[in-house]
Structure 1
């Protein structure tokens, strides 16, 4: 695994945004007044999800896979849910919002609890 650089975080962000865009497009396409709109929405979703996995794979060349996946799923779920509230008119509920807080907290805990290949700190020898 190469050292983590901003490039890896940008790839992860691209993966998350593509996942969210594909998911929202799939739902929105059901409301389009185009011939075969649902099929078009499905095609756009497949393209976005495929690109999302590609960028997720690129991000794991410098990020631990568990960290990348936790953020991809956690932020993706959060953004899709927020888009549901803001774009699709879905209603937020207290349990949904608490669940999102738990998901984001879990992703941060996975990140904080994951070694990034750094050597363990040397312990000082205490002589009496």
Structure 2
């Protein structure tokens, strides 16, 4: 079963947002030009792709998926790339976020299946 285009656009938006957020940390408060440019371009692309997913998905559903997966991906990048630590409460919280995204995707009639 092929993945619907609106979910592909939402995934692209999430990936661009994660790239932009990672670059924001590297920009050192926008004092480093290359990471700062990556932030601006990535966020621009993120909202561009998000706009396509909003043709089908309600904004609340799209934003819940975007923010949930974005939080988890940024936390994993922080853990693996930046050496940041996650305590048990953070891991449990992120597990609940993933569970929430799955519930929306699998059971919500408003999720644009």
| Same fold (TM > 0.5) | yes
From the superposition, tell whether residues 47 and 6 of structure 1 become closer, same or farther in structure 2 (CA, over 3 Å).
same
Choose the corresponding residue for 2:48, options 54, 74, 83.
54
Q: How far 1:109 sits from its partner (Å)?
A: 3.1
Matched, 1:73 2:67: yes
Query: Larger Rg: 1 or 2?
Result: 1
Is there any run of 5+ residues in structure 1 with no aligned partner, and where? 31-35, 119-128
Match of 1:115 in 2: 110
TM-score by length of 2: 0.82
TM-score by length of 1: 0.74
Bigger helix share: 2
CA contact (8 A) 1:14 1:55 kept: yes
Matched, 1:17 2:15: yes
Is there any run of 5+ residues in structure 2 with no aligned partner, and where? none
Q: What is the distance in 2 between the residues matched to 1:74 and 1:82?
A: 13
Q: What is the distance in 2 between the residues matched to 1:113 and 1:43?
A: 37
Q: What is the distance in 2 between the residues matched to 1:67 and 1:108?
A: 12
Q: What is the distance in 1 between the residues matched to 2:109 and 2:57?
A: 10
